[in-house]
Structure 1
Amino acid sequence: MMTYRERMLATLQGRPTDCIPFVPRLDLWYKANKYKGTLPDKYRNATLIQILDDLDVGYHSVTADRDLFDDSTDIVDRALGIWRCRTKPHHPKFRNIKRNISYQGDATIVEYLTPYGNIRTKVIYDESMRKAGITLSHVSEHAIKSVNDYEAVAYIFENAEVHPNYEGIARLKEEVGDRALVVGTASMGASAMHHILHELLPYDLFFCEYHDHYDELVRLAERMTPYINKVIDVAINSPADIIQSGTNYDVQLTWPPFVKKHIVPSLAETAMKCRAAGKFLLSHTDGENKGLLPHFLAGQIDIADSVCPAPMTSLTLKEIRTVFDGKITIWGGIPSVSVLENSMTDYEFDAFLDDLFVQIGAGDHLILSIADTAPPGMKFSRLERIAKLAKEFGPVNQ
């Protein structure tokens, strides 16, 4: 019998496996139910790894554990798209920049003092988020309010050093063992422009700035690119098996011409670096991907993570697999609503799974998971049902 590490590696390489690997993301489900005391009775005192071993499913390591940090200041730069946790392969530090950090209840306010003006951010992490298992705080005040902030933001990123942080990810790799391939998170934005869109402005303001101050925005991205490249290079040199670059795509936010112009070249360059280092490139392709699939192919990514098909988006799993044609491995494929009783009855869930496993076809280049993550209110027996069917699917590519 193959280990999950062997299954995942063989799946990525298009080699035979003894079954379809089921590697669901359960960290948020676990944290939320552990916090509320609502884990299934037999797992009341279990660790997440003990639950995975009992279920005989793989360990999902795509998102770095943001609860594991060494100092409270490690997470204060979250509104810049920068946080430092033990399982991230890089540890950025600022030079020539003073920060004023203050706290108001559940809010963290940071003011960055630069020669070109001050930048203020505010993030919220409250009790409702803890109960939901959420580990990433909400940005309520973004760094960029207008074009007048571009120079100061560029200065901040030009003065950000990127240091290796390999101990945590090496320790994670040892802890996980044969349960998975380990993912090292590089940048949430696959390119500097993607990072600006994803982290530094509210989406509505970004669209206005893209129209009204395009040249200035492009210049800002150019000045941030060395930082993004350093983050990616440091991640690639880490012990991680897979490198994550880019997250949260949606055709309404990352529209096809934008992806082609501002993201695909960076993805393709990162893919080339990953292959030279013997690693795989993963991008977190959640959201509505209609019109974006050819661009993921052009970006030469190895893994499309968190693929969420119908009924949550317009594309079926079969349609996505047809376009990828074995060139990209899907990690996901099961929409989170399917495991919620208030979204699907047991009868509807069984019918959905029957159809899903027809759409899977030969089962190659597929790591099953619940996209984006198993929700806290998941009916646990449905997770067990998916795990059973994945094993019963039988050999792939044999």
Structure 2
Amino acid sequence: MEGMNNRERTMAVFEHRRPDRLLWQPRLHHWYDVNKARGTLPREYEGFDLLAIYDDLDASPRAYHYFNDTVKVVEGEGVKLQRKVDESYIYTKYVTPKGSLTQIERRTEYGTASLRISYFLKGVRDFEVLKYILRNQSFIFDKDLYDEMERLLGERSEPLITVPWGSIQRFFIVYMGFQRGVIALWKHRKEVEDLLMVFDENDDERFALIRKTPFRIVNFGDNIDEGLCSPPLFEKYMIPYYKRRTRELHQAGKYCTSHWDGKIKRLLPYFPETGLDALECVPPIPQGNVTLEELKEALRGKVLIDGIPATHFLPHISDGELRRFVIRLLDTFSPNIIVGISDMLPPDGSIEKVRMVGGIIREYGIK
């Protein structure tokens, strides 16, 4: 089909129809936010908003950056969520009839991102407080915001939403941290698994709502890395989670992707069991630990989203080396690919390399 727009190209890839050409969808938000904050945007982009830069590059934005806020969490009666921000830190506190939980995040140098340095769960004694919070939450879909974002993006991108980390990943990444979380899992497995069941109950309502929304693609924002979620943990906790939720979403006519942005070589053999339709942000060697050939074999014809290591956009990689990698990526995965950067363009990455890759993709066509 000739003359497709980016929404049509996206759905053609997921539906395994032939798009008119491949889609170039680099994630530029972090690059833009940092360079804007420190006053180092390229001169030609001074005064541009991010969508104007995407248009100039003939590239597509990843839509979950615009649509994630359309599903909102409503705290239950008796739960107060307090937040305080200063120049260096973000303080978040839940106050409930069962007790309080606090989290501290350190803001990055330019205030564009943050890192958890103190987690909500300090010990097993805090589990009951978190259970109370989760059991009393509800979710709403903001259709007005969805419509607003759809008008804003137009034909640039297919609407897409990311659901938060699932199961054991949420326990480690959001609530307890890896070190304390692993110790708790070792010493208090029953209590941890009881808490994971409450995560599932909380997710039941979230996914029931998402199944009714207009989104045709749902992304699992799980940040999978085999160093944090080893094969035994992945097999025990993540595979049942993926199987259940992908089955529910498929029954609602939706496609499922997941954000596996770490080292995943030992986890790839499990991919066919997950029910996922695509993997997002997998970094190949040298940034990750998988080759393109290993990734293709594991995907078995499913879709790859992204695929170019972010490190290839830094100064030490020549334009020629980047070009050769992109051609090899396209030869390996076309047409089952939405090309992007694994994971995102670094603040000191070259925007001219982004432009160059877009040109390579247009010249390549579809094979």
Given the two structures, how large is their TM-score scaled by the length of structure 2? 0.92
User: Pick from 49, 62, 73: which aligns with 1:91?
Assistant: 73
Task: Give distance in 2, aligned partners of 1:181 and 1:98.
Answer: 35
2:60 matched residue in structure 1? 58
Contact 2:73 2:137 in 1 (8 A): no
Distance in 1 of aligned mates of 2:45 and 2:207: 38
Distance 2:83 2:348 in 1: 35
SS of 2:287's partner is: coil
User: How many percent of aligned residue pairs carry the same amino acid?
Assistant: 25
Distance 1:27 1:144, change over 3 A: same
Amino acid at match of 2:223: N
1:69 paired residue number: none
One-letter identity of the residue aligned with 1:163: I
Task: Determine which of 350, 365, 368 is the counterpart of 2:336.
Answer: 365
The answer to whether the 8 Å contact 2:282/2:288 transfers is no
Residue number in structure 1 paired with 2:166: 190
Q: Which residue among 332, 340, 349 is the counterpart of 2:314?
A: 340
Give yes or no for contact 1:293–1:323 (8 Å, CA) kept in 2. yes
Contiguous gaps of at least 5 residues in structure 2? none
> Using the alignment, how far apart are the partners of 1:164 and 1:340 within structure 2?
39
| Count of matched residue pairs | 365
For the residues of structure 2 that align with 1:184 and 1:50, how far apart are their CA atoms? 22
Structure 1 distance, partners of 2:81, 2:39, is: 38
Contact 2:308 2:340 in 1 (8 A): yes
Of 284-293 and 100-109, deviating more is: 100-109
How far is 1:89 from its partner? 1.9
Contact 1:236 1:243 in 2 (8 A): no
The equivalent residue for 1:80 is none
SS, match of residue 211 in structure 1: helix
Offset at residue 103 of structure 1 (A): 5.1
**1:141 equivalenced with 2:114 (yes/no):** no
Indicate whether 1:152 and 2:141 are aligned. no
1:122-271 matched pairs, under 5 angstroms: 122-126=104-108, 128-130=109-111, 134-135=112-113, 137-186=114-163, 188-191=164-167, 193-271=168-246
Q: Which amino acid aligns with 2:117?
A: S
Structure 1 residue matching 2:272: 3-state secondary structure: helix
**Residue from 354, 363, 367 that aligns with 1:392:** 363
**Distance apart, 1:102 and its partner CA:** 4.7
Give the drift of 1:190: 2.5
User: Is there any run of 5+ residues in structure 1 with no aligned partner, and where?
Assistant: 66-84
Offset of residue 169 of structure 1:
2.4
1:238-387 alignment runs, 5 A limit: 238-326=213-301, 328-341=302-315, 343-360=316-333, 363-387=334-358
Greater CA deviation, 312-321 or 239-248?
Answer: 239-248
**Cα deviation per residue 1:150-191 (whole Å; 9 max; x = unaligned)?**
1111111112222222322222122212111111122x2133
3-state SS of paired residue (1:247): coil
Q: How big is each residue's C-alpha offset from its partner over 1:236-290, in whole Å with a ceiling of 9 and x where there is no partner?
A: 3223231122421001111122112211222122212222222211211110111
Shift of 1:118: 2.5
For the 8 Å contact 2:162–2:221, the answer to whether it is kept is: no
Question: Which AA in structure 1 matches 2:148?
Answer: R
